[in-house]
Structure 1
Amino acid sequence: MGGRDQHVLRLNEEAARRLHVPHTLHVVPGATHLFEEPGALDQVTEVARQWCHDQLRTTAG
């Protein structure tokens, strides 16, 4: 989530507290909710790519 989107940040933190499974919230510093800032969306896609890689590697054994 974008670090400059305080409302969405609070909502996601509240949702994370309610989760009973392993999870990670990744905040892109200085980004808004649409990740329009230079490099922000690249950070989001890299974190998502790494998460998928880790999850599929773990699932595949």
Structure 2
Amino acid sequence: MARGSLSETLDHMIIALDENIISKEVLIAFRAEYDACLKLINGYILYLKKQKIDDL
């Protein structure tokens, strides 16, 4: 769910840029935050999967 919400937020930011609500610089800054958050989420998911395998 977290990855889906993050991707949905990126979609909203792209639409906001297309509608001239935000600047390209704001989108670029958000994209950096997006990439960092996605790495954290993916790392946490892998950690949880590893824990589940180790518990078996």
Q: State the TM-score, normalized to the length of structure 1.
A: 0.43
Point out the structure with the larger helix share: 2
Q: Which entry has the higher C-alpha Rg, 1 or 2?
A: 2
